[in-house]
Structure 1
Amino acid sequence: MRKLFLSALLVAGLSGCTAVGDFFKPYRIDVRQGNFVTQEMVSQLKSGMTRDQVRFVLGTPLVTDVFHADRWDYVYRYQPGKGSLQERRLTVIFEGGQLARLEGDVRSGEVPPQP
């Protein structure tokens, strides 16, 4: 009888491992990478601004391409410890050394978007 009780207890304990495993998950930190660009920052941009003025408002771009010197990419990724991945992208296009247009997730009413 004692063996039967112990085996029933063992089966009950093993069947509950998934619930126990969910409870004892390791702590995962929030990971933030890239340039955090807000809507207020983008709303300060105006057509015709120089590269230095744009850099002052948005900060140094995360990605600058040697082959496309007139394009700056601001990329932001946020992976919370619990939850889904969030990504934001903003591309700044210059023509003649001045701000021409913006592309990406964050938009401003001042700079006309590219169709």
Structure 2
Amino acid sequence: MIRVLAILLPLLLAACSSVSTPQPYRIDIQQGNVITQEMVAQLKPGLTKDQVRFILGSPLVADMFHTDRWDYVYMLQPGKGEVQRRRLTVIFEDNKLARLAGDVVAGDGWLEGPQAVPPPSRVIEIPPADKK
């Protein structure tokens, strides 16, 4: 009986332990232009296209029909974890930086997009209509 318990007890304890199956190694996949907050903070209205290209690098998407719009897209898919995506659109007027749009906030809050600084709100009061 003691011999059976001596064999059975370690087997029961081993069955209760959690065994993780080995997972294959998954590499981190980076696609597009790396866009950091520091890079976007250097952008100021009035910079030339060459200055913007020096700061951010060549745009991932440069549409020949919209030469005044550059799109920078970055995606990081880690082997384990959630996918990180960043998008930045740079718009020029007269070959000078006019606007930014995307999900990276500019240094002084002049970015348009989901994380942009909202414009100041205005309250417009409408008087009640006269009853006849």
Q: TM-score, normalised by structure 1?
A: 0.76
Residue 98 to residue 111, structure 1, CA distance change in 2 (3 Å): farther
Q: TM-score, normalised by structure 2?
A: 0.66
Q: Whole-Å Cα distance in 2 between the matches of residues 111 and 92 of structure 1?
A: 14
Percent of paired sites with the same residue: 64
User: What is the count of residue pairs matched by the alignment?
Assistant: 97
Q: Determine the structure 1 residue equivalent to 2:86.
A: 88
Report whether the alignment pairs 1:62 with 2:46. Answer: no
Q: Whole-Å Cα distance in 1 between the matches of residues 108 and 50 of structure 2?
A: 18
What are the residue-to-residue correspondences of 1:1-115 with 2, within 5 Å?
23-110=21-108, 112-114=110-112
SS at match of 2:88: strand
Q: For the aligned residues, what is the CA RMSD?
A: 2.0
Q: Whole-Å Cα distance in 2 between the matches of residues 87 and 42 of structure 1?
A: 15
Q: Is the Cα–Cα contact under 8 Å of residues 102 and 111 in structure 2 kept in the other structure?
A: no
Largest Rg, 1 or 2 = 2
**Structure number with higher helix proportion:** 1
Q: Whole-Å Cα distance in 1 between the matches of residues 38 and 66 of structure 2?
A: 27
Extract unaligned runs of 5+ from structure 1. Answer: 1-15
Q: Whole-Å Cα distance in 1 between the matches of residues 84 and 107 of structure 2?
A: 23
SS at match of 2:52: helix
Q: CA deviation at 1:37?
A: 1.1
Q: CA deviation at 1:46?
A: 0.8
